[in-house]
Amino acid sequence: LAVSRPQTSPEDLKALMGNVNRLNESFRDMQVKLLHLPLKGDMLDHIWRLQDLLQNHSDSLFLMTGSLQKLEGLLWSLQTQASQTDKAVSNLWDSLTQQSDAAQQEMYKLSVEGNSSRLLLQHHDHLLSHLGSRVESLSDQVMAVNGAMDTMNRTFSYDVNIHHTRIQDLQVLISNATEDARQMRLIHIAMEEQLKHELAILNNVTEDLRLKDWEHSIALKNISMIRGPPGPKGDQGNEGMEGEPGLPGLPGLRGLPGERGPPGPRGLKGDQGDLGPPGPVGMRGFKGDRGPKGEKGDRGGGGTAAAEEGMIRLVNGSGSHEGRVEVFYDRRWGTVCDDGWDKKDGDVVCRMLGFRGAEEVYRMARFGQGTGRIWMDDVSCKGTEESLLRCSFSSWGKTNCGHAEDAGVKCLTP
């Protein structure tokens, strides 16, 4: 911001100095003349000369008054421009401070996002390597299963071929046995017919023999004694002894399979089963694309911008992973006292910044002494809190420490 300053004219300064010098000389001459006035002389001439000198002095005073008024106006203009310049410089300084805070906050957010992205990429690399090993293991298992399936297919094909050959042989044997059984049945029928015929002949012979035996017995009775005519036929005699069982007959041929019956009615729907155990948790999804830029908001009032209360930053370290711990509260950054400061507190701070945890914690202003307020003292975390504000500590700004006891931390890096 360039500011033009009024320049005093050299001619005006020279004229002013000349007038002042002439006025001094006139006074000096007047003093000398007054000292050397004759005691006796023309007083009127001296009075007129004195009047002329006073007139000259009054003219010089008027000129000097005008020059002084011009100089006063120039001084007022210079003072006004200087005040405007101070205001402009003050506004510029406030603007630079706000932009610095905003840039620092953006750098802080970018650092946190970078650390989170780096951890996420490492997690994804680990998952991909684990998935690759699982895929290789599954590929080996699939190859082994394919080999086993090929072996089973070959064995099954061989067994099927053997069974098919055996079935064909059995079909030939069954057809041969069926033909032999048919021929034996025909022979058996012929033998049954022959036996029936022979039994009929045997019955006839037996009847003839019985008649002849009866006639012979009658003849013998007539010879021995004369008796009356023969009586009626006697009762049937007792049944003879059971003969031995015949040979078992050949088994009949297997009947053809019957037709398939109609399908039965559909059964009732069963009761609903119990819920199965929950499945394993899936892998974490990838980070989504960045959303579109929002509309420009209304301009806010004056004051510091950017940071939110409770935010953490590390200062004066060799990188974003270490430094003096500072917390933003009441629109100002302040430090943390090292009273009770331990690794659990450092773990919470590092996780807030996107790291896995704290590698080491420091006391006694290891990263230099801070300035301003000491916001937190007697911090005591359990190590599982999401923010340092969740930990117990003395109230904001209440402390008995100096900046020589500022706490620091070094976070774990990949």
Burial class for 336, CB neighbours closer than 10 Å (0-12, 13-18, 19+)? buried
pLDDT at position 325 is: 95
Query: Which pLDDT score is estimated for 5?
Result: 45
Q: What pLDDT was estimated at residue 301?
A: 42
CA–CA distance, 191 with 75 (Å, rounded to integer) = 163
CB atoms within 10 A of CB 377: 23
Supply the pLDDT for residue 2. Answer: 41
Do residues 314 and 320 make contact, with C-beta atoms less than 8 angstroms apart? yes
Q: Find out whether 358 and 412 touch, Cβ atoms under 8 Å.
A: yes
**Looking at residue 381, what is its pLDDT?**
94
Over residues 183-210, the pLDDT tens digits come to 888 888 988 888 888 888 988 888 888 8
Which tens digit of pLDDT belongs to each residue from 267-316? 777 777 777 777 776 666 666 677 676 665 555 443 334 567 889 999 99
C-alpha to C-alpha distance for 395 and 22, rounded to whole angstroms: 75
pLDDT at 255: 67
181 with 253: CB under 8 angstroms?
Answer: yes
What are the residue ranges in the chain where pLDDT is below 70?
Answer: 1-10, 12-13, 27, 31-44, 46, 221-231, 249-253, 255, 281-288, 291, 293-307
Cβ–Cβ < 8 Å for 328, 310: yes
pLDDT of residue 407: 95
pLDDT for residue 8: 52
CA distance 308 to 352: 13
Quick one: how far is CA 210 from the chain centroid? 118
What pLDDT sits at residue 39?
46
Using an 8 Å Cβ cutoff, are 348 and 359 in contact? no
Rounded CA-CA distance 122/185 in Å is 89
User: Whats the size of the chain, residue-wise?
Assistant: 414
The pLDDT, as a whole number, for residue 343 is: 93
pLDDT of residue 409: 96
